[in-house]
Each structure stands twice: as C-alpha cells, then as structure tokens.
C-alpha cells in the first residue's frame, strides 16, 4: 500500500512521533493506522514523544577516558530522582562508550549513528524513556584527544553535578591536571588565557568600567589607569591562568602549571542544566490534565 504524506501527518498528530518513525511504522503495518500506533508504542517511540514538550533540566554529566581519547557529556532527565536511577546511569555509560568509540561531531550526528545493539542512539534513548518514564536527552558532549606526552584531568563534582575535562600539555602528571579541573569546577572560568578573550569583549568591558568610574565622580585623568586596573580584575574572573589557585592561595594557576613544566591546552566544564529552564511542577494543573484525558 502506498504511504501518503497525509497518512504520515495523521500518525504524527496522534502519536507525536517523528516523521521518519511514522513513515516506517506505516510501511511495516501496510498503512493500518491503529497497528502503526501500536507499532510505535511497542518501540517506545510514541510514549517518548508524548514527553517531548517536557523540560529535562536535571540529569548528570560524566567523563570517560580511553587511552589518548576522552569524552565529557551531559545527559538530562526531568527529575533528580531519575538521575540517580541505575537504568539512567547505565544509559549514560552506554552513550559515553558509543561517543568515545565513534567520535561524532554533533548531537544530531550521534543520534543517527547505530549502536552495537543495532538501534540508533535516538532509538536507544527512546527505549530508555519508555522504560524509565521521563523525558531523557543527550544534551551535549565533547570528544577530546591528547598525545602520550600530555595528561587528562578528569574531575566529577557531586556525583556528576559538574564535570571538568582538562588537557595539560607537556606533562603526564594526571594528578596535576585533575587539580586544575577541580579549580575550574570551583571557580568556573570561561577561558584559558587572556589571548582567548575577543577584542570586542575586552572593549565592551572597558566601556562599562569607564562609565562606572566616571559615574563615581573620578577625575578623567585617572579614570584610564583605574579602568586598566579593573580590567586586570576582570581577566582574573574569566581566565583560569590569571586566577588564584584554590589549592594554594599564594600561587596563581599559571605559576602552578609552569612549575610542572606544562601548559593548559584546553578545558571543558559542564554543569547540569546550566542555561536550561527548570521544570516547575504545578500539581493542580497536572491533576486537571489527567482528569481531562
């Protein structure tokens, strides 16, 4: 039986499943709408899709290191309770292993890749959604590579509430690299060094600081010196090498790194749910929605 666009549209509206999933379901069931719905439900896709408008802002971050490759990832759930679920943590481990092995460039590319069980990553996540009963999503990841002469610093804070992966070049001292990652977890810098801060960002900050100084009534002839001094403080806030090392307040991070004969090549810091809207449960509304069904 020919599967028309109208049939696919109708099945999408009834199940909330993706277009390709709906087309496949209709093909598999020879265009029988009810059987196609059952097909999607059996695959866990329809149940997963119903949760697609829910906010998944909890979850965990994790790191997996394998030789000279490492991956840092964030997988979200709706509640912190599910983030502690053994099934959810198994899913995170499986996704980390897949990402480390296959090294996709984007989440979209990852979701389309096939896992060892034959399912795509997206299908595997949907199956976990059907089993666990909450919206789950692979939000982001970064695959990082080093040489034999470098060290990975892998640090998980509060069971994965925050994860930091640092690459320290010029040393194989993994403990030193981990110390840098712990520092980054605590102080949350944006850049490695001042070189990474764009000229536009520096100029914007300079304009703000200049206006602040003028508003304080400072004479114009000393404003410029004040602004340069305050810019230094700004760099200390955003650049890890300019920060005071948390493990030794008498030392800058730069000095600690230099004492190891190393340089910080890069770091990635993920904190669960940062930048996402948190879900607010409205139980009265939830109950009314159930009553209306």
List, for residues 133-185, the tens digit of each pLDDT value.
899 999 999 999 999 999 999 999 999 999 999 999 999 999 999 999 999 99
What does the pLDDT average to over 72-81?
A: 95
pLDDT of res. 49: 62
Could you tell me if residue 196 is inside a domain?
no
Could you tell me if residue 125 is inside a domain?
yes
Task: Choose between 52 and 61: higher pLDDT.
Answer: 61
Q: Average per-residue pLDDT in the chain?
A: 90
How far is the CA of 259 from the CAs of 127, 148, 170, 176, 283, in angstroms? Answer: 49, 20, 11, 10, 56
Instruction: Quick: pLDDT tens for 107-141.
Output: 999 999 999 999 999 999 999 998 998 999 999 99
Instruction: Quick: pLDDT tens for 197-233.
Output: 999 999 999 998 998 888 888 888 899 889 999 999 9
pLDDT of res. 47: 64
- Domain finish residue from 109, 125, 145: 145
Same domain assignment for residues 93 and 125: yes
Residue 30 Ramachandran class (φ > 0 left, ψ -120 to 50 alpha, else beta): left
How far, in Å, CA of 95 to CA of 69, rounded?
Answer: 15
Range of the domain at 98: 55-145
Could you tell me if residue 241 is inside a domain?
no
User: CATH number, domain at 24?
Assistant: 1.10.8.10
Alpha helices in the chain (DSSP H): 5-15, 19-28, 33-42, 45-50, 80-83, 86-102, 107-112, 121-132, 174-187, 199-215, 220-238, 253-259, 283-292
User: CATH number, domain at 63?
Assistant: 3.30.479.20
- Is 0.85 topped by the overall pTM? no
């Amino acid at each position: 039986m020919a599967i028309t666009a109208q049939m696919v549209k109708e099945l999408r509206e009834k199940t909330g499943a993706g277009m390709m999933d709906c087309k496949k379901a209709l093909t598999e069931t020879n265009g029988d709408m009810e059987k196609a719905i059952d097909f999607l439900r059996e695959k866990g896709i329809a149940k997963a899709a119903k949760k697609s408008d829910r906010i998944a802002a909890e979850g965990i971050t994790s790191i997996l290191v394998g030789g000279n490759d490492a991956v840092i990832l964030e997988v979200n759930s709706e509640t912190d309770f599910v983030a502690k679920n053994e099934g959810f943590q198994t899913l995170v481990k499986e996704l980390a292993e897949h990402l480390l092995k296959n090294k996709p460039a984007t989440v979209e590319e990852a979701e389309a890749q096939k896992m060892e069980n034959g399912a795509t990553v997206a299908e595997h996540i949907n199956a976990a959604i059907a089993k666990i009963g909450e919206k789950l999503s692979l939000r982001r990841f970064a695959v990082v590579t080093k040489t034999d002469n470098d060290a990975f610093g892998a640090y998980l804070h509060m069971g994965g509430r925050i994860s930091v992966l640092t690459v320290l070049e010029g040393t194989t001292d993994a403990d030193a690299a981990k110390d840098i990652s712990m520092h980054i977890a605590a102080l949350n810098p944006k850049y490695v060094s001042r070189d990474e801060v764009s000229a536009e960002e520096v100029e914007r900050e300079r304009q703000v600081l200049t206006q602040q100084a003028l508003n304080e009534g400072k004479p114009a002839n000393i404003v410029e010196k004040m602004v340069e001094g305050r810019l230094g403080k700004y760099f200390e806030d955003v650049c890890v090498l300019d920060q005071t090392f948390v493990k030794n307040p008498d030392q800058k991070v730069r000095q600690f790194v230099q004492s190891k004969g190393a340089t910080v090549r890069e770091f990635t810091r993920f904190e669960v749910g940062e930048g996402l809207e948190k879900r607010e449960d409205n139980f009265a509304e939830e109950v009314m929605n159930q009553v209306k069904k």
